[in-house]
A and B are shown apart, each in its own frame.
Chain A
Amino acid sequence: MNKLHGVLDRFVQVLENIGAVIAGSVLLFCMVLVSFDALLRYAFAAPLTFQLHLTQYYLLVLLTMLGLSWGYRSGGSIQITFLVNRLPENIRGLVARAGLLASSAYVAVLAVKAWEVFERAWVRDTVVMGVIDWPVAWSWIWVPIGCALLSTRLLLDATASRLRVMGGAH
């Protein structure tokens, strides 16, 4: 059981790391793209007409969602602990696990519901008309991926034999 958990945990870690590398690259790309667009508009009155839509509906969603689970695992969360810290160790562990399970379920529902929107857009191949036809499904797909990964991470943490300390990456 513990072994299986360990294998799964490492597998999810690999996925999280891949997600973070992609998200990080997209973050830097956004920085260059937005700066470049502003310069083109200012100097040559020739902005990139696709920049806002591309950034808003694709790059931003991608970078926040693919970095979501890695961000959480690497300490990107905050909690108020003064009360729980006064509880006995075993009760504190129980409360933390219950909280993680509830969080995992909450994020799982978010993933499933967003997947349904993605699926509908994918099946019907819907596009938004802009200067080009923007495929809707490719804007949504990152939400179920990011939330499913985070939900799995929370579930693995809740069932780990030793509780990981939440937050506090520093």
Chain B
Amino acid sequence: MDILIGVGLLLALIVSGIPVGFALGISGVISLFMMVPTPVVMGLMAEVVHHTASNYVLLTIPMFVLMAELLTASGMAKDLMIACNRLLGKIKGGLAMACVLAGSVLAAASGSSTASVASIASAAFPTMKSLGYDEGFSIGTMAIAGTLAIMIPPSIAFVVYGIITEESIGRLFIAGMIPGLMTALGYVLTISVAVRVWPHLAPDPKKIAEQMKQGGTALQQYGKVWPVVLLVIIVMGALYSGLATPTEVGAIGAFGALLISMMLGRMSRKAVIRATGNTLRTTSMIVTIIFGAMLFGYFMAYTQVTDAMIQWIADVGLSPYVVLLLIVFVYLMLGMFMDQFAIIVLTVPVSHAVLTGLGFDGVWLGIIIVKTAEIGLVTPPLGLNVFVASGVTGVSPQNGFKGAAPFIVMDLVILGLLLAFPAISLFLPELLR
């Protein structure tokens, strides 16, 4: 009952147009008052903001966003998008596919999907819009491209899962590679189908071809891409050579972007100030949503609804596959309302014990659960990646959710494949054993 009141209140506040972060916090606090004494609510409120702001991993968000903003401010992001479009321009929806490609590359350097989606959105949206892409579809594409960060290693989600379950973090990383690439391909496929079914989503390639030619020959345009390529090499190199941790690599990327663009004479003081301001705005918005979501999460914890659901499934005594499907269903449901990391921390101890007890592989389970987390990041009403993309671009989140819908369908298909064929996930880790 409490859970229905709390979720109902959240939905009511969100649709009355209150900023999402505040809606989460207010409904969380009011619902908490129903369940626990006032001093406890106050105690939770005293900690939540400082806790959110003093999280070292949070640093990835401003740093990757700053990197993207600097790329945008210097015009290098636009050069890249134009070149990508030239390359993929003959294909309808080429630029959207370029976003997925960029998302995959960023995913290999970053473990945070929030940081990833914010960077893609800052870098790609202005160009996509100016070329005539549908706004909602653009936001959906960026939000979904950002989810790749938690499947393609390194991934914070796998680290958390590995620590909780004592499954091998290394094996989880390797196991995530094929599902991650498969997901990226699935998104590209979705784009090519979607733009054929709904032609208004993407501009006609012939029309942009005219526009593109104004920027010089193809070779000239490709030639302009090298600063970005250099930056990608710096970021990936910094991580894989051991120069920096995944959290630090964003700072090096941002610093690199600043230095490169300054050396090319493409960065004015004004542009640096604008990029910094945009980064601050995005960061403060994300932080407000995170601590609001944490308060709502505390309420969810007090209802003990997650335990109850998974325990109930465990208790009824069904066949292993029915249990598996039910638990996956629970994850998809929870993913709509809760922060993905909160879900993993709260439920994985129980679900991992139940499902490995039934004979399922723990690493494979990690892939399945992270896949549901990817989906949860883009499903309404609480879809963090869509919120971030829409916050960065100013497009309304409901348009973003609409734009993400085709990708969610593809994600569900991939989830089905991963469930049906564990070998997709386990082939590589077995090979390297």
Interface residues of A (CB under 8 A from B): 20, 23-24, 27-28, 30-32, 34-35, 37-39, 42, 52, 55-57, 60-61, 63-65, 67-68, 70-72, 74-84, 92, 95-96, 99, 102-103, 106-107, 109-110, 113-114, 116-117, 139-140, 142-143, 147, 166-170
Query: Which chain A residue shows the least CB distance to B387?
Result: A78
Since A20-B277, A63-B283, A166-B19 are in contact, a sample of 12 more A-B pairs with Cβ atoms closer than 8 Å, ordered by chain A residue number, is A27-B276, A31-B66, A38-B243, A38-B251, A60-B56, A77-B391, A78-B390, A79-B20, A82-B15, A95-B16, A143-B50, A170-B393
Residues of B within 8 A of A72 (CB): 19, 284-285, 288
Contact A99 B49 (CB under 8 A): no
Residues of B within 8 A of A75 (CB): 281, 394
Query: Which chain A residue shows the least CB distance to B57?
Result: A56
| Chain B proximity of A65: nearest CB distance (Å) | 6
Query: Which chain A residue shows the least CB distance to B256?
Result: A35
Asked if A74 meets B281 with Cβ closer than 8 Å, knowing A65-B53, A117-B50, the reply is yes
Contact B283 A71 (CB under 8 A): yes
Which applies to chain B's interface (DSSP): helix, strand, loop or mixed? helix
> Which 4 residue pairs spanning A and B have beta carbons closest together?
A71-B284, A170-B394, A113-B46, A34-B251
Q: How far is the CA of A24 from the CA of B241 in the complex (A)?
A: 30
Query: Which chain B residue shows the least CB distance to A83?
Result: B15
Residues of A within 8 A of B298 (CB): none
Contact B288 A68 (CB under 8 A): yes
Interface residues of B (CB under 8 A from A): 13-22, 25-26, 29, 42, 45-50, 52-56, 58-59, 62-63, 66, 238, 241-245, 248, 251-252, 254-255, 258, 272-273, 276-277, 279-285, 287-288, 291, 381, 387, 390-391, 393-394, 396-398
13 interchain pairs, CB-CB under 8 A: A31-B258, A34-B251, A37-B248, A68-B284, A71-B280, A76-B282, A80-B381, A81-B396, A81-B398, A102-B22, A109-B42, A109-B45, A143-B53
Residues of A within 8 A of B397 (CB): 78-80
Asked if A80 meets B281 with Cβ closer than 8 Å, knowing A56-B54, A64-B53, A109-B45, the reply is no
| Chain A proximity of B92: nearest CB distance (Å) | 26
Q: How far is the CA of A167 from the CA of B254 in the complex (A)?
A: 26
Contact B390 A61 (CB under 8 A): no
Contact A57 B391 (CB under 8 A): no
Contact A103 B283 (CB under 8 A): no
Contact B277 A61 (CB under 8 A): no
Contact A99 B17 (CB under 8 A): yes
Q: How far is the CA of A39 from the CA of B255 in the complex (A)?
A: 12
A70 in complex: contacting residue of B26, B55, B280, B291, CB < 8 Å = B280
Query: Which chain A residue shows the least CB distance to B393?
Result: A170
Contact A60 B242 (CB under 8 A): no
Residues of A within 8 A of B398 (CB): 80-82
Contact B19 A106 (CB under 8 A): no
Contact A60 B244 (CB under 8 A): no
Contact B281 A60 (CB under 8 A): no
Query: Which chain A residue shows the least CB distance to B392?
Result: A170
Residues of B within 8 A of A35 (CB): 248, 251-252, 255
Residues of A within 8 A of B387 (CB): 78
Contact B20 A78 (CB under 8 A): yes
Contact B17 A96 (CB under 8 A): yes
Asked if A67 meets B283 with Cβ closer than 8 Å, knowing A106-B29, A113-B45, the reply is yes
Contact A27 B280 (CB under 8 A): yes
Contact A61 B243 (CB under 8 A): no
Query: Which chain A residue shows the least CB distance to B15?
Result: A83
Query: Which chain B residue shows the least CB distance to A166?
Result: B19
Q: How far is the CA of A117 from the CA of B13 in the complex (A)?
A: 30
Contact A61 B53 (CB under 8 A): yes
Contact B14 A80 (CB under 8 A): yes
Asked if A80 meets B26 with Cβ closer than 8 Å, knowing A61-B54, A72-B284, the reply is no
Contact A64 B287 (CB under 8 A): yes
Asked if A167 meets B280 with Cβ closer than 8 Å, knowing A38-B243, A78-B19, the reply is no
Asked if A34 meets B248 with Cβ closer than 8 Å, knowing A56-B55, A106-B25, the reply is yes
| Chain A proximity of B151: nearest CB distance (Å) | 25
| Chain A proximity of B416: nearest CB distance (Å) | 30
Residues of A within 8 A of B273 (CB): 24
Asked if A102 meets B26 with Cβ closer than 8 Å, knowing A42-B243, A60-B53, the reply is yes
Q: How far is the CA of A109 from the CA of B29 in the complex (A)?
A: 11
Q: How far is the CA of A83 from the CA of B397 in the complex (A)?
A: 13
| Chain B proximity of A150: nearest CB distance (Å) | 8
Q: How far is the CA of A140 from the CA of B46 in the complex (A)?
A: 11
Asked if A52 meets B56 with Cβ closer than 8 Å, knowing A38-B244, A78-B285, A80-B15, the reply is yes
Residues of B within 8 A of A81 (CB): 17, 396, 398
Residues of B within 8 A of A102 (CB): 18, 22, 26
